[in-house]
Each structure stands twice: as structure tokens, then as C-alpha cells.
Structure 1
Amino acid sequence: MKIGIIVAMGKELDLLLPHIEGHSQTVLPSGQTLHTGTMAGGRHSVAAMQSGIGKVNAALGTAALVDAFGPELVINTGVAGGTGSDARVMDVVVGDRVAYHDVWCGPCAERGQIQGMPRFFEGAPAVLGLEVLDSISRLHRGLIASGDQFVDNAADLAKITALYPDVKAVDMESAAMAHTCHIKGVPFASIRVVSDTPGKEEDNTGQYLDFWTDAPKATFATLQTIVNAL
């Protein structure tokens, strides 16, 4: 299978690249760097890219990845904020759906929905249906909501949970990546590790920074397990 893997930040890419066998890189005409190789003992051809933070960067990076590599599946991985549900710091959330939390197009569409697009973008069945997910400790399937905002306080989080009571994690890219894949006709999956819990800790930003000591390795180990099972 040809799998595209996209992350937002350089430190996430640094954790991903050691999992890619025979790694080489190409600079695209757009200036973005495509990292190619294999995973799962050579069974899967992969291409990885760092998009940059936020929805516009996420959409542009995903479009460039799909156009340059032609993947059969796109996987996004990285970190996300927890929402106070059962997903705690260091837990992994696999998005069975992703949605925007900061979109309002007026009465022609529901909040969170861009007119003409689904309100929820469904996760890739090939990933969500894997039996191995049930054997991974502290893994949750659920809704991931995205917006151009680092959610760092209880008041902002409450607005999101009022819109989506069942949301498990919040980030700044997954919905834009899923939206792009929906348009391109490519299945998409988001796999995020919870880095912090907005409103649950007095110093949410400090919690997020402390998390980076070595905790993100969990999500990339989970990614490797999932790719091996595909």
C-alpha cells in the first residue's frame, strides 16, 4: 500500500523519520520536502511531510503530499489537547470522525460545517477496522475537533464541548487534512497523542511543554503498530 504520513511540526517529523526504512528526500517545486521510503519491512511505500501548524498549512501540505505521491491512504499523527473525557495525557486518540470547531457559515449550514461539505469527515475504515487497535493500551476511538487556536483554558474548551459533547481531543490541523483528502478522494486517518488537558491543570502550557520531554514517542510507536497491521 502507498501511505502518506503528514505531521504539523518539525519535532514530530524528527520522531517519525526513524520509523521510515531507506529514507530519502525530495524538495518539491512548492518548496516542501517529501520524505520517502518504506515501512512494515518493505510492505508499504510511504511518503512523509511536515505541513506546518494550522489549517491553511495543513491543507496545503496534504494537497502537495497527495499530488506528489498519490497515496491510497493518508495518516496524520502528532499531538492534541485532551477534553476532559476518558482520554488522558499520554493516551492515543484515533479519530473515527474529525470536524472543525471554529467554522460558522451562517444558517445555511450547521456550526462546524463548511457549506457543501459534510460536518463530520469519517476516519478511514481500513484503519478503524483493525483488530490490533483493541490490543493497544490507552487507545480511544472518537471525535477530534480542529481550529486555528491553541486551546489553553476551560472557557474555550467549554465552547467546543458545547458544540461537540462527545469530542475526545482538539488540535489545529486534522479537520483541514481530512477536508482536503475528502476533496481528493483519499481515505484519511488521524492518530493523536494527548499532550495536555486544557482547564484541568493550572499551567496547561507548562504541561504541554513538559510533555515533549519524551512522551510523544508513544504516538509514533502506535503509528508503527497500525502500519504494520495494514
Structure 2
Amino acid sequence: MKLIIGAMHEELQDSIDFYNLNKIEDEKFIIYKNEEIMFCITGVGLINSAVQLAYILTKYEINSIINIGTSGACDDTLKQGDIILVDKVYNSVADATAFGYAYGQVPRMPKYYETNKEKVINRIDYVKIKNIASSDIFIHSVDQVDLFVKKIDDEISILDMECFAYAQTAFLFNKEFSVIKIVSDVIGKNDANNIQFNDFIKIAGKEILEILKKIL
């Protein structure tokens, strides 16, 4: 079974309705499924994301995981609405450099997590391949990007608060993991953010459904 996982209901509600999914859990974890696919809404943040994905992987038979949703950008070559296929996933606030690890690397874990792109890349039009960094900080200013993100020894283009937790959990459970994001805004580039987030996420939800139709 494929698992579609994301942070917010607004991002996935159109898809949940289209695929006629039944809600099977709603107490601590919000999970929907039919015979072929499962959707999970984790809420925001690294701990929520890791715990809920781990819960699903221990209880249900999942073959592959797709994280899809919206994401802010810190790359001025991007614009609102761009579709991003994530290559590498980093943690933008882990700092064990005193022990010889790279900035962003959790001790005794990989420096980053590389996603599975082969099954997705040829099915989505106008996709761009970029790296993402995650943290429990809502990074929304150039100063924050300089303080946290630019310490990573790689080019980071988009930011969120969940993807690294999904990626590390998928790695520990040895599950195939892919990430698709739609750029909601670009930090420091006001002319790239024409639609306010509360309106944009409704548009993004419809775009997410169109993407899922192509890859599921």
C-alpha cells in the first residue's frame, strides 16, 4: 500500500474526497484509506511527523511513502506555484559540529537523506529538482535563512517543518520515500508572493490532487 503523508488537511482534503477514502483513525492520529492507498495528516512539526509515521509503519503494511504539500522557498530563482521534486533532505537546526559531524547531521545518522525520484520525475510537468531543509522553526526571514539554513554545506531551496522527520523515519524503517512540494512563498522576494497563503493553499490542494492523479 502507498502512503500519502502531509502536515495540513487543507493540502490533502481535495485528494481525500476524490479517492473516496474512509477515515479509519481520528483519536490521536488522523488516517484515511481505501483498498490501495492511505493518507495521514500529521500536523506541523518534526516530532508529530516522526511519531505518526512510525506508528503507521508499525501497524500497517506500507510499501512506499510520498510526502506532498506546500513549502516556503529561500531560493530567488523560484516563484509561487513552482512544483519541486525534492532530491536531498536536511535538518537545518541540528548542530553536533563540536563532535566532528557536519552541520545539520544528527549524530550517527546520515548527513542527509536522498529521496526516490525515479517513479515520479517523468510523470509531472514543469518539475524542478531541489533540496529541502526542515526544522521546528518557522523560517520566514532572510536573517533566519542566514542563521540556520546557509550553514548547511549544500544548496537549499525550500523549507518546511516536517520533511526531515519523515525522511529519517522512512530510512530507519527501510521504506521508499519521495517528496513533492508546491512553493507557497519565497522569502525576501515580495513580488513572488502574489496570493496570500490562506487563498493559495486552496489552489495548492487542487494542484496536489492533479499531481497525485499522475503518480498513483
TM-score (normalizing by structure 1): 0.83
Per the TM alignment, residue 213 of structure 1 is displaced from its structure 2 partner at its CA by: 4.2
* Counterpart Cα distance in 1 of 2:184 and 2:161: 13
Q: Distance in 1 between matches of 2:209 and 2:178?
A: 14
Q: Indicate if the aligned counterparts of 1:87 and 1:93 stay in contact, CA closer than 8 A.
A: no
CA contact (8 A) 2:12 2:208 kept: no
User: Could you tell me which residue of structure 1 aligns to residue 158 of structure 2?
Assistant: 169
Aligned partner of 2:72 in structure 1 is: 81
In 1, the alpha carbon distance for the partners of 2:154 and 2:187 equals 15
The CA deviation string for residues 70-112 of structure 1, in whole angstroms up to 9 with x for no partner, is 2110111111001224332101111111111111124221110
Give yes or no for contact 1:82–1:198 (8 Å, CA) kept in 2. Answer: yes
Query: Is 1:138 matched up with 2:136?
Result: no
Give 1:135 deviation, angstroms.
Answer: 5.9
Structure 1 residues 64, 16: CA separation in 2 closer, same or farther (over 3 Å shift)?
Answer: farther
216-225 vs 186-195, which moves further: 216-225
1:13 touches 1:49 (CA, 8 Å); kept in 2?
A: no
Structural mapping, 1:178-193, within 5 Å: 178-193=167-182
Contact 1:59–1:180, Cα closer than 8 Å, also in 2: yes
Q: Is the 8 A contact 1:133 1:226 kept in 2?
A: no
Q: Aligned to 2:53, what secondary structure does the other structure show? A: helix
User: Residues of 2 paired with 1:26 and 1:5: CA distance?
Assistant: 15
Q: Which amino acid aligns with 2:142?
A: A
State the distance in 2 between where 1:223 and 1:216 align.
Answer: 11
**How do 1:61-100 residues align onto structure 2 when only pairs under 5 Å count?**
61-100=52-91
Counterpart for residue 25 of structure 1: 23
The structural deviation recorded for 1:184 is 1.0
Aligned partners of 1:100 and 1:175 also within 8 Å? yes
For residues 95 and 58 of structure 2, the distance between their equivalents in structure 1, rounded to whole angstroms, comes to: 29
Match of 1:197 in 2: 186
Does 1 or 2 have the higher relative contact order (CA < 8 Å, sep 6+)? 2
> Is the 2:75–2:156 Cα contact (8 Å) retained in structure 1?
no
Q: Which residue of 2 aligns with 1:35?
A: 32
2:70–2:204 contact (8 Å) kept in structure 1: no
Q: Which residue is 1:209 aligned to? A: 198
- Structure 1 residues 193, 56: CA separation in 2 closer, same or farther (over 3 Å shift)? same
- What TM-score do the two structures reach when normalised by structure 2? 0.88
1:144 touches 1:171 (CA, 8 Å); kept in 2? yes
Q: Which amino acid aligns with 2:24?
A: T
2:6 equivalent in structure 1: 7
What is the identity, as a one-letter code, of the residue corresponding to 1:148? Answer: D
CA RMSD of aligned residues (A): 2.3
Count residues with an aligned counterpart: 214
Partner of residue 55, structure 1: 46
Classify the secondary structure of the residue corresponding to 1:182.
helix
